[in-house]
Structure 1
Amino acid sequence: MTVTIGYLLKQSRPRFWLYLAGPVLVGVTFGADRPTALVGVVPLVLFAYFLVPANVYLYGVNDVFDREVDRRNPKKERREVRYRGQRATPLAVIASLVAGVALLPLVPRPAAPWIGGFLLLGAAYSVPPVRLKVRPPLDSLSNGLYVLPGGAAYAAVAGGQPPIAAIAGGWLWAMAMHTFSAVPDVGPDRKSGIRTTATVLGARGALVYCATTWGLAALAFATLDWRGGVLLAVYPALALWVLTGNVDVGRAYWYFPAINTAVGAILTMAGLWGLTHGG
């Protein structure tokens, strides 16, 4: 049992847990109208779900339907684990899906579509015949799903929907982050006959795409607050640095969880400052 739990946790990519749970913190912080709203039952439940079960669901579905492809992916031998048909994975995926569906009637009505959208896109990304991950540019576009936990959290505490500019900025950021993460896999994916935005554009073209899309994300956030735009401008700068500085993108990619955590923490602290100091 201990071995199985350890395997499932590693399969859920702990390094990336905050990619789903972090937006919950940001969404709650900016959606709350008073400090006590930050520690309500619904925000805590959303954070707990998107911290672990949602990652078990998202990456478990991915690994089940990528089993054949991942046999050729060296990343599965080092940073991640390789799914070899273990029954625990589909069982954990189903349990996580059921837990997500169970949230729908429990959260305020404005939050439910965001959770439902996450569950649908999380499956559509990997499951045939839709399998958006091999349909560029839909592979990139569909990864706006990482914004959906933040939308759910904001809507749950605010009772209404987040600003369009915030949704657009977050969605663009996630699109670029997805394509950037696919650049190290261009070689294995091409050998396997997998088409992604990164394989279509090539490594350099994908980095240009990431820099451009991250730049648009920064502009979207700047329409809400210029300081947010400045903060998000770190991403196009990093993409250009990798592109022009002869930096190994495979190595740079593994620094992004720390970078994203730092940026998310700054956004969260800014929201807390505004909540407690009125702006």
Structure 2
Amino acid sequence: MTAGAGGFPIRAFFQRLLGPRTMAYLLHLRPLEWPIMTAHFLLGTLLAAGWALKAAPTLLGWLVFVALLNGGTLAINSAFDQDEGDIGYLKAPPKPPEHLLAFSSALLAASGLLGFLLPRPFALINLGCVVMSVLYSVPPIRMKARAGWDLLINCIGFGLFTPLAGWAITGRPFDAAILRASWGFAFLFATLYPMTQIYQVAEDTRRGDRTLVIRMGVGRSLALALVAALVAHLLFGAAVMALGRHLWPLGISLAAWLAVLLPWLAGWRAWSDHRHETGMYWGLGAWAVTDLSLLVLLWP
């Protein structure tokens, strides 16, 4: 919505520069998520190559996996959801433009094709994520509307495959540490995912989507998130042990998640949607702490 740009100075600047129509397409790529995706993707690259990573394949991998794949995934999601309230990484979203479905489909197709310019394991992981993006958002399958399946596809796509894709662009074979850490991130996304849904329960209910949080309820979803965080850190510990290194720095990561989850579990009944949304962003902060902890612990 054009009027909504007034409350966001940076958005208003780019809207004047690009025009409202082009800006609507850009906003639905949700570029505010790109730094998070970039960090999680480059975690795999840095753990594989350290500072010896090569610029050209790294930049191409970023374009394919973050800008085209992630941007296209979020845009095709917006094309079908037609949200009116805040959505993840985008407050006061503009109305999805007329050709957003065609635009997002083109981005996903380009991602799938360009991925084959990089090592085959990366190309196959990336192509699998393209397929999952379509299955997640597009009717009649639309896995995001099916409780349990929505969680599974996000755990695999964002949690498991993103660091593996970052590793794969280096051409180095996967080792035990990165495989265990990536499975840990699959479970860690089971911690984050309910946080992304709690404040959108009213919107999802209006559309008829039966998301995980709607089916389980907020309290049980947060309890699931806590259990998943503990399992994730057990897997991270196994990854660290595969390299014979000390485990104690993982306590910083676990403490960050407990600091988000325990107050939320204790007080969620009295929280407004806005506070639940703020909780999600605190969860993203905890995710960043985990990425940094494992970067230090597993550095090659």
TM-score range, shorter chain: 0.7 to 0.9
Tell which has more relative contact order, 1 or 2 (C-alpha 8 A, sep 6+): 1
RMSD, matched Cα: 2.4
Structure 2 residue corresponding to 1:167, chosen from 182, 190, 193: 182
Q: State the partner residue of 1:81.
A: 93
Determine whether 1:255 maps to 2:282: yes
Structure 2 residue corresponding to 1:217, chosen from 218, 226, 232: 232
**Amino acid across the alignment from 2:109:** V
Determine whether 1:199 maps to 2:214: yes
Question: Using the alignment, how far apart are the partners of 2:65 and 2:249 within structure 1?
Answer: 24
Q: Structure 2 vs 1, CA of residues 127 and 75 (structure 1 numbering), >3 Å: closer, same or farther?
A: same
Question: Using the alignment, how far apart are the partners of 1:93 and 1:192 within structure 2?
Answer: 21
Question: Using the alignment, how far apart are the partners of 1:208 and 1:265 within structure 2?
Answer: 25
TM-score (norm 1): 0.84
**Amino acid across the alignment from 1:133:** K
Q: State the partner residue of 2:38.
A: 21
Question: Using the alignment, how far apart are the partners of 1:84 and 1:242 within structure 2?
Answer: 32
Q: Which moved more, 1:17-26 or 1:222-231?
A: 222-231
Q: State the partner residue of 1:41.
A: 56
Q: Structure 2 vs 1, CA of residues 47 and 267 (structure 1 numbering), >3 Å: closer, same or farther?
A: farther
**Amino acid across the alignment from 1:114:** I
Determine whether 1:94 maps to 2:116: no
Q: Structure 2 vs 1, CA of residues 129 and 158 (structure 1 numbering), >3 Å: closer, same or farther?
A: same
Q: Structure 2 vs 1, CA of residues 44 and 10 (structure 1 numbering), >3 Å: closer, same or farther?
A: same
- 4+ residue segments displaced more than 6 Å: none
Q: Describe the SS at the equivalent of 2:217.
A: helix
Q: Work out the number of aligned pairs and report it.
A: 265
Determine whether 1:230 maps to 2:243: no
Task: Kindly indicate whether the alpha-carbon contact (under 8 Å) linking 1:168 and 1:220 is maintained by their aligned counterparts in 2.
Answer: yes
Task: Kindly indicate whether the alpha-carbon contact (under 8 Å) linking 2:24 and 2:94 is maintained by their aligned counterparts in 1.
Answer: no
Q: Which moved more, 1:179-188 or 1:197-206?
A: 179-188
Q: State the partner residue of 2:18.
A: 2
Question: Using the alignment, how far apart are the partners of 2:129 and 2:41 within structure 1?
Answer: 13
Alignment of 1:99-138 (within 5 A): 99-138=110-149
Q: Shift of residue 54 of structure 1?
A: 2.3
Q: State the partner residue of 1:57.
A: 72
Q: Which runs of 5+ in 1 are unaligned?
A: none
Q: Shift of residue 231 of structure 1?
A: 4.0
Question: Using the alignment, how far apart are the partners of 1:175 and 1:107 within structure 2?
Answer: 29
Question: Using the alignment, how far apart are the partners of 1:83 and 1:227 within structure 2?
Answer: 47
Q: Describe the SS at the equivalent of 2:138.
A: coil
Q: Structure 2 vs 1, CA of residues 265 and 91 (structure 1 numbering), >3 Å: closer, same or farther?
A: farther
Q: Percent identity between the aligned chains?
A: 21
Q: Describe the SS at the equivalent of 2:133.
A: helix
Q: Shift of residue 257 of structure 1?
A: 3.7
Q: Structure 2 vs 1, CA of residues 192 and 98 (structure 1 numbering), >3 Å: closer, same or farther?
A: closer
Q: Which moved more, 1:4-13 or 1:54-63?
A: 4-13
Q: Shift of residue 24 of structure 1?
A: 1.6
Task: Kindly indicate whether the alpha-carbon contact (under 8 Å) linking 1:15 and 1:257 is maintained by their aligned counterparts in 2.
Answer: no
In the TM superposition, what whole-angstrom CA distance separates every residue of 1:168-205 from its partner, at most 9, and x where no partner exists? 11111122211221011123323443201100111111
Question: Using the alignment, how far apart are the partners of 2:291 and 2:22 within structure 1?
Answer: 28
TM-score (norm 2): 0.79
Task: Kindly indicate whether the alpha-carbon contact (under 8 Å) linking 2:183 and 2:235 is maintained by their aligned counterparts in 1.
Answer: yes
Question: Using the alignment, how far apart are the partners of 1:45 and 1:91 within structure 2?
Answer: 23
Q: Which moved more, 1:48-57 or 1:204-213?
A: 48-57
Q: Structure 2 vs 1, CA of residues 258 and 167 (structure 1 numbering), >3 Å: closer, same or farther?
A: closer
Task: Kindly indicate whether the alpha-carbon contact (under 8 Å) linking 1:105 and 1:112 is maintained by their aligned counterparts in 2.
Answer: yes
In the TM superposition, what whole-angstrom CA distance separates every residue of 1:69-99 from its partner, at most 9, and x where no partner exists? x24xx226x7141444422x23431331232
**Amino acid across the alignment from 1:35:** W
Question: Using the alignment, how far apart are the partners of 1:206 and 1:264 within structure 2?
Answer: 23
Q: State the partner residue of 2:4.
A: none
Q: State the partner residue of 2:14.
A: none
